[in-house]
Amino acid sequence: MSTRFAKTGEAAQRPSYRTIARSIGLQLREQFERPEAEPLPVDHVDLLLRLRHKERERSRRTA
């Protein structure tokens, strides 16, 4: 989709908001088709495990 519009009849050349939103949505779905099917990177898993460990330590101290 082009962002340039003709100077004459400019309003007639512009795509509608709905058309633009649909196009963006389709492009995002193509790029990030099924993010839940992608495995978590190892460094993210490590960070999540460290966070969970800290949460457990903190809850034991306050209990």
pLDDT at position 18 is 92
pTM score: 0.41
**Tokens linked to 11:** 């309003």
Phi, psi of 8 (to 5 degrees): -95, 135
Q: Each residue of 5-63: pLDDT tens digit?
A: 555 555 568 889 999 999 999 998 888 777 677 788 899 999 999 999 999 998 898 87
Check whether 4 has a pLDDT greater than 70.
Answer: no
Within its chain, how far is the Cα of 48 from the centroid?
A: 20
Q: What is the pLDDT of residue 41?
A: 87
DSSP class per residue in 9-21: THHHHSPPHHHHH
Which pLDDT score is estimated for 23? Answer: 93
DSSP 8-state secondary structure symbol assigned to residue 9: T
